[in-house]
């Protein structure tokens, strides 16, 4: 029987390999980090029209991803056949043409790279003459791989340049619309109907109704909250509710219901909706009032605005349903809050802030193979920084994540000087730490250097401490030399050192390396309480908080020998922080390799946890853990969606070690979970992870894309008797913390089993 099964498997695998071979070509092409650059939209909806069918002013009727660089970059996923492992690209050839006929013949009349010996498959720079503005181009690529195969040419990717070009400028896709139908329609009474779309989104309505008279008027209400079976007309904080009168015409007609612009979130500092989309509001529910006719799902459509999003790019499921539900909530949040095309703080202000952008950015990377919106947001914030000191410093973290996930250095090269100023080195005092308590922050020279016209102020967490136990900042004591601020300063300085090295400023990098070492020493000498074994809030206070300790740990300032004591303290504080600071708390916990506490915090079911949002039937994450913790909170805030990135990056453990996922780590911290299935998108292709654990075995199956490698680290098992890698017995190599180092693997499917 086993022989027959093996034979059948061989037949299936061989057939699959032959099918794969017939389409052996690079896929998932990106132009300037933009996927599907040739897509055309009208009024936000995708159309079948192709770019080669249009010319000149005809393009004015459409929306598309205008490429803004005269020398863009190209990227693709390297092909591999079923059953093959360790496939690396050996060479590539790119051709760019300015007409479809030449593109089909792969002439390369604009640029032909020739056969280029290189493993680079992301951020490959265009090498021809500068592209022209307002012009359509076509490109394709073929590669050779380490198995000796030569691929077919990829499908032709079309793109069009913007009206104004720079040698480098961030490109991005247009905002689009999708049509949502109601998931439930309930008749409240003879003249009132409640419509539930299942999830909230930023959108507008189109209603088709019939009237026997010319002068009938109905009312349409939309909102985010429901109370006692109706839309809540007086929701808490800035949870949305609107009601509009709608005069009807005789007969059956369709009526647009466009939300009225809110003065606060359409002001001079807000990001505005493009005209072709129109104004939107976040809502889940709709009530049709003063209307006795029948309403079906086809009669009411929600036109939802989003940035293009691939729902199938990422997946997570486990044997813990609470964790699964939290993942789905946070994943959908990343999609639903993308409506403005730039990461914003929520609907109340619609203003980009750095702290929101970091969580949005990482969540976007781990729920979709999308990088352009994050870059656009990053560079917008370099020009429009916000007031908190820590968030000024976060610009470097955002830029570094951009580089590590894309492999594209151009944004760092173009913005190095402003990034250097954002380290706030000019605020350093004689003790090696920075402070914002003197007049330096008010000087025009300083404000001009960071491009902020105003005084920056330390924030620690938001909102600041309230009357409830612990408060969002754990009653943090602000001091002249702030621990949290200096932790961010250290991280920014270390990142700048790496940036300087990357762009060829070796002498500057050496000087920065010394500065980092000196700051690390000063931080640990001045801010660590040796008696208690934890960090104080500042130099001039003996007060200790969760924030002083978890930010220090998350940002790389806690020596190995102090981590256990710091973690012991962190565990005593619970979730005494906001949904924003929870991103760094979860990073700190997982960086300390405490996956058990990490899972506990992700799935905790009290009011200070993500499950509390689900308990209130949230479909987009909140700005705070609960309405009672912030009296004006939004119900559409992506900075509450940290699990969207924490689960794949930390619990499943897939992160880049080299830029553009050239080399990655897979180190799951699965804790008590017995079954996990995950798909994590990367710029080089999807990583698949399957974990199964039983009394006798821990099994990790990973599939990694071609042209990348991975380090694999398994959890610590006190009763590990044998390790098998791809069916072969291997020596168990324990790390200092007891985890098992399985070494480096290449692409393909690999199985790691620990037998007990």
Over residues 531-576, the pLDDT tens digits come to 999 999 999 999 999 999 999 999 999 999 999 999 999 999 999 9
Region at 567 (left for phi over 0; alpha for psi -120 to 50; beta for the rest): alpha
Average pLDDT of span 67-90: 96
704-753 pLDDT tens trace = 999 999 999 999 999 999 999 999 999 999 999 999 999 999 999 999 99
Residue 544 is encoded by which pair of tokens?
Answer: 């200790």
State both tokens at 98: 């300015």
Q: How far apart are CA 215 and CA 219, in angstroms?
A: 13
DSSP 8-state assignment for residue 468: S
pLDDT at residue 754 greater than cutoff 80: yes
pLDDT band at residue 464, thresholds of 50, 70 and 90?
confident
Q: For residues 421 and 450, what is the distance between their CA atoms, to the nearest angstrom?
A: 6
% of the chain at pLDDT higher than 90: 94
Question: Which residue shows structure tokens 């300790």?
Answer: 549
Least confident of 175-184, 206-215, 551-560: 206-215
H or E element at residue 615: helix 610-615
Question: Is residue 565 helix, strand or coil?
Answer: helix
Other beta carbons within 10 angstroms of residue 248's beta carbon come to: 22
Higher pLDDT residue, 19 or 172? 172
DSSP lists the bridge partners of residue 140 as 95
With a cut of 90, say whether residue 639 has pLDDT above it.
yes
- What mean pLDDT is reported for the chain? 95
For 98-123, what is the mean pLDDT? 98
Residues counted in the chain? 756
For residue 539, the number of C-alpha atoms closer than 13 Å in the C-beta half-sphere is: 15
Q: Angle at the Cα of 573 (from 571 to 576), degrees rounded to 5?
A: 130
Distance CA(296)–CA(623), nearest Å, equals: 34
* The 124-125 sheet, strands edge to edge: 34-35, 27-31, 73-77, 124-125
Q: Which of 8-12, 30-34, 646-650 has the lowest mean pLDDT?
A: 8-12
Q: Residues 267-271: what's their mean pLDDT?
A: 95
Q: Is 688 exposed, middle or buried (0-12, 13-18, 19+ CB in 10 A)?
A: middle
For residue 10, pLDDT over 50 is answered with: no
d(CA 38, CA 138): 9
* pLDDT of 465: 61
Q: CATH number of the domain at 315-651, please?
A: 1.50.10.10
**Per residue in 220-261, pLDDT tens?**
999 999 999 999 999 988 999 999 999 999 999 999 999 999
Q: How far is CA 532 from CA 423, 536, 542, 543, in A?
A: 30, 10, 10, 11
Exposure letters 38-47 (e unless 16+ CB within 10 A, then b): bbbbeebeee
CA 174 and chain centroid, separation: 18
Tokens of 86: 């360790």
The domain 663-755 is classified under which CATH number: 1.20.1250.20, 2.60.420.10, 3.40.1190.10, 3.30.310.50? 2.60.420.10
Going through 65-183 in order, the beta strands assigned E by DSSP cover: 67-69, 73-77, 89-97, 111-112, 116-117, 124-125, 136-145, 157-166, 176-181
**Contact yes or no for 311/182 (Cβ under 8 A):** no
- What is the Cα–Cα distance from 450 to 453, expressed in whole angstroms? 9
- Homologous superfamily (CATH) of 176-306 is Galactose-binding domain-like (2.60.120.260)
Give the percent of the chain with pLDDT over 70.
Answer: 96
> Which uninterrupted H or E stretch holds 568?
helix 560-573
Is residue 257 within 8 Å of residue 220, measured between CB atoms?
A: yes
Per-residue pLDDT at 352: 98
Give the max Cα distance, the chain: 83
Q: Is the peptide bond between 347 and the residue preceding it cis, with omega within 30 degrees of 0?
A: no
Assess whether pLDDT exceeds 80 at residue 443: yes
Q: What is the distance between the terminal CA atoms of the chain, rounded to a whole angstrom?
A: 28
* Over residues 658-663, mean pLDDT: 98
Scored b (16 or more CB within 10 A) or e, 532-561 reads eebbbbbbebebbbbbbbbbbbbbebbeee
Q: Domain residue spans in the chain?
A: 2-166, 176-306, 315-651, 663-755
Residue 247, pLDDT score: 96
Confidence label for 17 from pLDDT (cuts 50, 70 and 90): very low
pLDDT higher than 80, residue 19: no
Mean pLDDT calculated for residue range 103-126: 98
Superfamily of segment(s) 2-166? Immunoglobulins (2.60.40.10)
pLDDT band with cut points at 50, 70 and 90 for residue 214: confident
Give the number of other Cβ atoms within 10 Å of residue 86's Cβ. Answer: 13
pLDDT over 70 (residue 22): no
Report pLDDT for 463.
Answer: 85
Give phi and psi for 669, each to the nearest 5.
Answer: -120, 75
Cβ–Cβ under 8 Å, residues 557 and 520: yes
8-state DSSP, 259: P
Q: For residue 267, give both structure tokens.
A: 């002001």
What residue has token string 């308990």?
615
Confidence grade of residue 21 (pLDDT, cut at 50, 70, 90): low
Number of other residues whose CB lies within 10 A of the CB of residue 9: 10
Q: Do β-strands 157-166 and 67-69 pair in parallel, antiparallel, or remain unpaired?
A: parallel
In the 8-state DSSP scheme, what is residue 194?
E
Where do we find the tokens 């020279």?
445
3-state secondary structure of 546: helix
Q: Which parts of 167-314 are beta strand (E)?
A: 176-181, 184-189, 192-211, 217-223, 226-227, 230-231, 241-247, 251-257, 281-289, 300-306
The answer, yes or no, to whether residue 20 has pLDDT greater than 70, is no
């Amino acid at each position: 029987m086993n022989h027959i099964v093996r034979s059948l498997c061989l037949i299936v695998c061989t057939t699959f390999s032959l099918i794969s071979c017939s389409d052996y070509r690079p896929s998932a092409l990106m132009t300037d980090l933009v996927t599907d650059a040739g897509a055309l939209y009208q009024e936000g909806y995708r159309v079948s029209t192709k770019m080669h069918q249009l010319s000149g002013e005809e393009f004015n009727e459409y929306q598309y991803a205008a490429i803004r660089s005269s020398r863009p970059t190209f990227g693709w996923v390297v092909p591999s056949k079923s059953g093959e492992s360790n496939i690396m690209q050996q060479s590539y050839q790119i051709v760019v043409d300015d007409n479809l006929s030449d593109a089909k013949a792969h002439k390369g009349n604009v640029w032909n790279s020739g056969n280029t010996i290189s493993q680079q498959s992301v951020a490959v720079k265009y090498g021809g003459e500068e592209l022209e503005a307002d012009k359509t181009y076509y490109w394709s690529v073929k590669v050779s791989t380490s198995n000796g195969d030569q691929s077919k040419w990829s499908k032709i990717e079309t793109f069009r340049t913007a009206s104004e070009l720079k040698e480098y400028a961030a490109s991005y896709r247009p905002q689009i619309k999708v049509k949502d139908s109601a998931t439930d329609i309930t008749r409240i009474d003879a003249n009132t109907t409640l419509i539930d779309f299942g999830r909230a989104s930023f959108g507008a309505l189109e209603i088709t109704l019939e009237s026997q008279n010319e002068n009938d008027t109905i009312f349409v209400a939309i909102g985010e909250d429901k109370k006692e079976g109706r839309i809540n007309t007086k929701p808490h904080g800035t949870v949305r509710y609107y009601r509009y009168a709608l005069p009807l015409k005789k007969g059956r007609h369709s009526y647009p219901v466009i939300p009225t612009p809110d003065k606060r979130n359409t002001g001079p500092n807000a990001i505005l909706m493009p005209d072709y989309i129109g104004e939107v509001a976040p809502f889940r529910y709709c009530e049709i009032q003063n209307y006795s006719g029948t309403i079906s799902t086809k009669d009411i459509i929600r036109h939802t605005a989003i940035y293009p999003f691939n729902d199938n790019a990422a997946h997570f499921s486990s044997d813990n349903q609470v964790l699964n539900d939290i993942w789905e909530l946070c994943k959908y949040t990343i999609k639903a809050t993308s409506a403005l095309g730039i990461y914003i703080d929520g609907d109340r202000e619609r203003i980009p802030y750095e702290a929101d952008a970091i969580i949005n950015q990482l969540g976007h990377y781990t729920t979709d193979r999308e990088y352009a919106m994050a870059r656009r947001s990053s560079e917008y914030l370099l020009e429009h920084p916000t007031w908190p000191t820590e968030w000024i410093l976060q610009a470097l973290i955002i830029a570094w994540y951009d580089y590590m996930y894309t492999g594209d250095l151009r944004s760092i090269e173009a913005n190095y000087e402003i990034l250097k100023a954002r380290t706030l080195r000019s605020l350093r005092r004689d003790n090696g730490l920075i402070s914002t308590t003197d007049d330096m922050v008010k000087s025009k020279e300083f404000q001009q250097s960071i491009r902020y016209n105003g005084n920056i102020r330390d924030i620690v967490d938001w909102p600041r401490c309230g009357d409830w136990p612990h408060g969002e900042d754990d009653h943090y004591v602000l001091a002249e030399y702030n621990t949290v601020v200096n932790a961010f300063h250290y991280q920014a300085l270390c990142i700048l050192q790496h940036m300087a090295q990357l762009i060829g400023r070796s002498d500057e990098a050496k000087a920065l390396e010394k500065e980092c070492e000196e700051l690390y020493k000063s931080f640990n000498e001045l801010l660590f309480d040796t008696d208690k074994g934890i960090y104080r809030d500042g130099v001039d206070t003996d007060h200790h908080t969760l924030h002083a300790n978890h930010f220090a740990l998350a940002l790389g300032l806690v020596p190995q020998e102090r981590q256990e004591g710091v973690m012991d303290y962190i565990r005593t504080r619970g979730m005494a922080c906001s949904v924003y600071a929870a991103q760094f708390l979860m990073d700190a916990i997982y960086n300390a390799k405490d996956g058990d506490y990490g899972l506990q915090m992700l799935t905790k079911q009290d009011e200070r946890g993500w499950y509390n949002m689900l308990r209130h039937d949230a479909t987009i994450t909140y700005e705070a853990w609960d309405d009672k913790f912030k009296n004006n909170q939004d119900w559409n805030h992506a900075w509450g969606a940290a699990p969207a990135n924490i689960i794949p990056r930390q619990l499943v453990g897939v992160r880049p070690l080299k830029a553009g996922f050239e080399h990655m780590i897979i180190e799951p911290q699965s804790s008590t979970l017995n079954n996990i299935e995950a798909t994590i998108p990367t710029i080089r292709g999807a990583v698949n992870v399957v974990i199964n654990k039983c009394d006798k075995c821990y099994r990790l199956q990973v599939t990694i894309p071609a042209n990348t490698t991975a380090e694999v680290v398994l959890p610590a098992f006190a009763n590990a008797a044998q390790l098998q890698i791809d069916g072969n017995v291997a020596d168990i190599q324990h790390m200092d913390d007891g985890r098992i180092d399985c070494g480096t693997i290449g692409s393909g499917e690999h199985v790691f089993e620990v037998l007990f």
